[in-house]
Chains A and B, each alone.
Chain A
Amino acid sequence: MRIDQRLRRRWPWAALALFAVVPLAMPEGFYLDLLMFTFMYAAMAVGWDIMGGYAGYVSLGHVGFFGLGSYAAALLLVHLGLPVFMTAPLVGLMASLLGAGLGFISLRTRGPAFVIVTLTFTYVAQLLMLDLKSVTGGSQGIFLPLLDLPANLVIVPFYYAMLALLVIAILVSIAIRRSKFGLGLIAIREDEGKAEASGVNTSLYKILAFAISVWFAGTAGALHAQYLNYVDPDLAFELIITLNLIIMSLFGSRGIVWGPVLGAFVIYPLSAYLIFLLPSRLAGQLHLVALGVVLVLVVMFLPDGVLRTYMAWRKKGPKDYGSVEAQASMAEAPG
């Protein structure tokens, strides 16, 4: 048990050290690309889970922030010459501000408004980028100047940036989980009425959680635009990105720091491998079907996710990962 706990504390650092030296061993190629995208999805999924897992409000619109982040970074680079690696965190902040605005519209009440607003926000964002032709180039998209690096090394800075984004996501998620703010969010998930009655400012908490949640999508979108050196309305707003985040969080376990990380590290490589396996003519279509089937199956048979199910099965995880009942009783404590 003690060794187990010590392992639990140390393995993230070991993994981080390992990931940090991977590019030195193989600075190019398929696996670096795979890892980079896994980090990107993991970071966004951890961000998604701050809203979807802790507060229990499912966002269907994270790709809207991802896409707007791509566009904002592209425009800042093309018009003002600001490098994306510098602007990405600020672009994330813009996404957060926008998220707070959307939250103000949809989170003051309970019920389905949040799902509707986040889903439609994606179309609004896409439509704006398509129709504001003088700024965004419409369906032509925007080309970003290439980074001044040899072609085989160009992925390395993105690899480290996405790794850093993932580390930030995990640290933020842990900090929230251990704070009174996080406890308030979990109280909202378990019983919003009681949370409000016991003094949690539910609207403010939810809006703040959503703003933090979308920062990662906006920042990742900015980096992704520079990685592709191109952005257009179809690429930037692919709903499959939101779908991936949801599947990763649900599969790994919602509301647990490491759940979405585990989900991303399992789902993304499998998903990439699947595209590789499928006949190329139908790959895109069948990939969609497969992801949809996975979502439905997870929702039906594994709604608590792998980690929580495993913890429940072991029945002696640390307090932090306790059962829903334990969390609910914890949630009622502050007030």
Chain B
Amino acid sequence: MRPGLLAQSLVLGILTGGMYALMAAGLTLIFGVMRVINIAHAAMIVMGAYLSLTLFLHLGVDPLLSMLLLIPLFFGLGALVQWGIVNRLAERDITLTVLMTFGFAIILEGLQGAIWTSSYQGIKTAYSLESFQLFTLYVPVVRLIAAAVSLFLLAGLYALLTFTMLGRAIRATIQNRTSAQLVGVNVRLVTTISFAIGIAVAGATGPLLGMLFTFYPATHWLWIGKLLAIVVLGGLGSLRGAFVAAMLLGIAEQVTSVTIALDWAPMIFYVFLFGVLVVRPQGLFGVVERQSL
């Protein structure tokens, strides 16, 4: 493999990895506070992509601007669904809650197909095909934008979790729900807010996905597979882990597609997923799950 090609796939991998990190952040946050894998997460991201596409085609709203609308919209919907439906169930039975998110994923896929048909879509803005040379490297502008926006939002999420009272409450709930409640955290409210933040982040990723990749209603199954690989590799519930794993897998994917074949690139996610479960089930940054919950 030529060194130039390797450097090129590193650049593309890091840029794509930034977006993967944002996608996975919401999923791992929701798992952290609720111990529930939101199987509908990728379907929600794709929903964001469709809404952004519609806004772009009919009202000419730039996909990046549509994020400003999607974030509060998805936050509100997430809070409503969590408070109204998911919360009631999650306190009774986690397995059933996972099945419920599976149902949500199916419903969203069906609705998207009914509204926007099953054909391939993509958000093609004026700057979609632009790129520039950096030394010998080729840098697509949309990927750079997506990575920058993702890093910006991730930094915001990190600041929220680290420096605010709410963030402390969320982290306490992730670490130990019962103890958090004992020291006066309203864990139910914190769970709802965290879930809503996770969904809002998913909604924000939608336009980025739509600009970088083609999508159709069933694509969310491919994405949830990738995202699960990322959050498991990083350690379920760990934001830092999700970030590192997203970068690692973003790069690994690009390297595979140039060294082996484009067809086999998605497989690299599952190789890592299954490998890490055999070798280190708690992932890179995860903590060993306590046996009694």
Contact = CB atoms under 8 A, between A and B. Distances in A.
A120 B270 contact: yes
Given A112-B236, A246-B102, A293 B114 contact: no
A105 B289 contact: no
A130 B264 CA distance: 10
Interface in B99-114: 99-100, 102-111, 113-114
Contacts of A116: 37, 228, 232, 273
A284 interface: yes
Contacts of B167: none
Contacts of A318: none
Interface stretch (A25-33, A172-180, A220-228, A295-303): A295-303
Given A105-B277, A131-B263, A115 B113 contact: no
B178 interface: no
Contacts of B108: 292
A175 to B, nearest CB: 25
Given A193-B292, A286-B114, A292-B104, A119 B95 contact: no
A289 B103 contact: no
A240 B104 CA distance: 13
Given A106-B277, A286-B110, A292-B107, A58 B263 contact: no
A153 B217 CA distance: 38
Interface stretch (B5-13, B144-152, B218-226): B218-226
Given A117-B274, A120-B225, A123-B221, A288 B292 contact: no
Nearest to A192: B291
Contacts of B35: 112
B130 interface: no
A120 to B, nearest CB: 5
B277 to A, nearest CB: 5
A289 B95 contact: no
Range of interface residues on A (Cβ < 8 Å): 35 or more
Interface in A156-212: 193
A128 B264 CA distance: 9
A285 B107 CA distance: 9
Given A288-B110, A292-B107, A127 B266 contact: yes
Contacts of B122: none
Nearest to A295: B103
B229 interface: yes
B107 A289 contact: yes
B103 A292 contact: yes
B98 interface: yes
Contacts of B264: 131
Contact of B100 (A240, A243, A284, A295): A295
A56 interface: yes
A135 B113 CA distance: 32
Interface in B35-76: 35, 37, 39
A38 B85 CA distance: 32
A113 B261 CA distance: 29
A246 B277 CA distance: 25
A292 B106 contact: yes
B91 interface: no
A124 B100 CA distance: 23
Nearest to A240: B106
A111 B289 contact: yes
B95 A58 contact: yes
B140 interface: no
A299 B110 contact: no
Contacts of A193: 291-292
B72 to A, nearest CB: 25
Interface in B245-265: 261, 263-264
B103 A299 contact: yes
B270 to A, nearest CB: 5
Interface in B227-248: 228-229, 232, 236
A292 B110 contact: yes
B262 to A, nearest CB: 10
Given A127-B270, A285-B111, A295-B100, 19 more contacts: A109-B281, A110-B291, A112-B236, A117-B277, A119-B228, A120-B225, A120-B229, A123-B221, A131-B263, A239-B106, A243-B106, A285-B118, A291-B106, A292-B105, A292-B106, A292-B110, A295-B106, A300-B100, A303-B92
Interface of B: 31, 35, 37, 39, 85, 88-89, 92-93, 95-96, 98-100, 102-111, 113-114, 118, 217, 221-222, 224-225, 228-229, 232, 236, 261, 263-264, 266-267, 270, 273-274, 277-278, 281, 289, 291-292
26 contacts: A60-B39, A110-B289, A110-B291, A112-B31, A112-B236, A113-B232, A115-B98, A116-B37, A119-B39, A119-B228, A131-B267, A243-B102, A246-B99, A246-B102, A282-B114, A285-B110, A285-B118, A288-B109, A288-B110, A292-B105, A292-B107, A299-B100, A300-B85, A300-B88, A300-B89, A300-B100
Ranked nearest first, the 4 interchain pairs of A and B with the lowest CB-CB distance are A288-B110, A292-B106, A292-B107, A289-B110
Interface of A: 56, 58, 60, 105-106, 108-113, 115-117, 119-120, 123-124, 127-128, 130-131, 193, 239-240, 243, 246, 250, 282, 284-293, 295-296, 299-300, 303
